[in-house]
A and B are shown apart, each in its own frame.
Chain A
Amino acid sequence: MSATINLPTILRGHAGGSRTIEVTGSTVGEVFDHVSRDFPKLGEQLSSPDGGLPVFMNVFVDDEDIRYLAGLDTTVDDHTEITILPAVAGG
């Protein structure tokens, strides 16, 4: 499986300036493992010391927040879009 990851501006510098990257994996966790292998600096940004998601990072699989799906075990397929966004406020 090869998912497309949409990167926010602040992370693109860790992926050669790319807006999107294609990464293989059958779950979000696997995809992130492969990101860490291919783009180590980017990989550092995608995990917290406890192995979970960084608190200020939101990850959406096909526009659904994975915290309300199966977290890093959320499955992905060839058509899946993974979008990473920093936590921002409004109001």
Chain B
Amino acid sequence: MTIARAGVDAGRMRQLGVVETPLVRLDRISPPGRRIYAKAEWHQPTGSVKDRIAAAMVAAAEADGSLAGPADIVEPSSGNTGIALARIARMLGHRFSVLIPDNVSHERLELLEAFGAAVEFTPGAEGSNGAVRRAELRAAQTGEVMLHQYENAANPGAHEATTGPEIEWQLEELGEGAPSAFVATLGTGGTIMGVGRALRRSFPAIEIVAAEPPAGETISGLRSMADGYIPPVFDPTALDGRVLVRSGPSIAMMRRLVDEEGLFVGPSSGAAVHAAVRRAAALPDGSVVVTLLPDAGWKYLSTGVYSGSVDEAVEAVADSTLW
């Protein structure tokens, strides 16, 4: 059973552990005269931004009755959404299965195991696209509840209801005016859609810019372009720009965040900040750019992204699904 619904219950999200995260200023990495602020999403219960959407999707499913009692839930994920859903499912007494590419890091699998998830591997060469297709088939056959982060309106809804408004009051508290741009990485598209909607409502002139992570460079299992996948929650027309950020610059910036800002983040955070710096540098002096750091570095230690030179790290993760 695949579900798409709109309502978001921020109160229930808080009951399920979602917290307000710090908005930190990147003093050393921001280009001269510009200020980049970043949401530190590793403060969420399982250490990633995905705790927000997992809680929102479960709350919506409770509200419409599909998770009224103990249920079997299945979800495709490259890691963070699966871990976040596994935690909530364990708390609430649901059985949870995740379909996950077989080339993700050991840490993600160990976390899923810790939260009691049943893991079904999908071919790593198909990336997340393959996990989505196979999960849809499985849910259709078994009748398991598939919250479907890629098409569930509660995914962007979670960010429109919580992340976006948090950024607004945090900027105000910091004495900042209207931000010139919001930059975030694309996975499902939920973050940039939801935060973008909230910020554009308050700051109509803001630019919404996506950082495209380099997963496409390593996905070799697609048979043709027609095997591509655009999540239904993602509306490309809602963006003002999209920047490709390759593995090298992502990892290099991830390491700069550790070295210069003291922030131990994962590779997608490096991609987001690389794109934010690029955008900020093109904006007038005094501009404010906001970005979002999806998770910390703990889940990627075994991949080699922190070891050796950047070139060696790029080589080490060439066949991995990082996000």
A residues near B, CB below 8 A?
8-11, 45, 54-58, 60, 63-65, 67-68, 83, 85-91
Residues of chain A within 8 A of B6, CB atoms compared: none
* 18 pairs of residues in contact across A and B, judged by CB atoms under 8 Å: A9-B219, A56-B225, A56-B226, A57-B228, A58-B216, A64-B242, A65-B241, A87-B229, A88-B222, A88-B228, A89-B127, A89-B229, A89-B231, A90-B185, A90-B188, A90-B213, A91-B78, A91-B187
Is B216 touching A64 in the complex (CB atoms < 8 A)?
Answer: no
A87's contact among B224, B228, B243, by CB below 8 Å, is which? B228
Among residues of B, the one whose C-beta sits closest to the C-beta of A89 is B128
| B223-A10 in contact (CB<8A) | yes
Judged by DSSP, the binding face of A is mixed
User: CB within 8 A of B50: which of A11, A64, A85, A91?
Assistant: A91
- B154 in contact (CB, < 8 A): no
Residue of A nearest to B186 (CB): A90
A86-B216 contact given A68-B239, A91-B80, CB 8 Å threshold: yes
- B80 and A88 contact, CB distance less than 8 A: no
Q: Which of B64-86 contact A (CB under 8 A)?
A: 77-78, 80-81
Within 8 Å of chain A (Cβ to Cβ): is B132? yes
Q: B307 on the interface (CB 8 Å rule)?
A: no
**Interface check B149, CB cutoff 8 A:** yes
Question: Lowest 9 CB-CB distances: which A-B pairs, in order?
Answer: A56-B228, A90-B187, A87-B228, A65-B242, A85-B216, A91-B187, A9-B220, A90-B323, A86-B228
CB distance from B320 to the nearest CB of A (A): 12
B244 touches A65 (CB 8 A): yes
With a cutoff of 8 Å between Cβ atoms, the chain A residues found around residue B149 in the complex are 91
By beta carbon, the residue of chain A nearest B220 is A9
- Are the C-beta atoms of A89 and B150 separated by less than 8 Å? yes
Contact status of A85 and B213, CB under 8 A, knowing A65-B243, A91-B78: no
Interface presence of B92 (CB below 8 A) = no
Do B241 and A89 have beta carbons less than 8 Å apart? Answer: no
- Write out the residue numbers on chain A whose beta carbons fall within 8 Å of the beta carbon of B118: none
Contact assessment for A86 and B222 in the assembled complex, using a CB-CB cutoff below 8 Å: yes
Specify the chain B residue showing the minimal Cβ separation from A64.
B243
* Chain A: minimal CB distance from B74 (Å): 15
CA gap between A57 and B228 in the complex, in Å: 7
A88 in contact with B215 (CB, 8 Å): yes
Additional pairs, 6, CB under 8 Å, beyond known A55-B228, A91-B50: A10-B222, A67-B242, A88-B127, A88-B128, A89-B129, A89-B150
Residues of A within 8 A of B220 (CB): 9-10
Tell me, rounded to whole Å, the shortest Cβ–Cβ distance linking B155 to chain A.
Answer: 9
Q: Are A83 and B244 in contact (CB under 8 A)?
A: yes
Determine if B301 is an interface residue (Cβ-Cβ < 8 Å).
no
Q: Is B38 an interface residue (CB 8 A)?
A: no
Question: In the assembled complex, how far is the CB of residue B59 from the closest CB belonging to chain A, in whole angstroms?
Answer: 18
| A-facing residues in B185-229 (Cβ within 8 Å) | 185-188, 190, 212-213, 215-217, 219-220, 222-229
Which of B50, B128, B245 is the most central at the interface, judged by chain A CB atoms within 10 Å of its CB?
Answer: B128
A57, A63, A67: the one contacting B245 at CB < 8 Å is A63
Nearest-CB distance from B248 to chain A (Å)?
A: 12
| B240 interface hit (Cβ, 8 Å) | yes
**Interchain CB contact under 8 A, B212 and A65:** yes
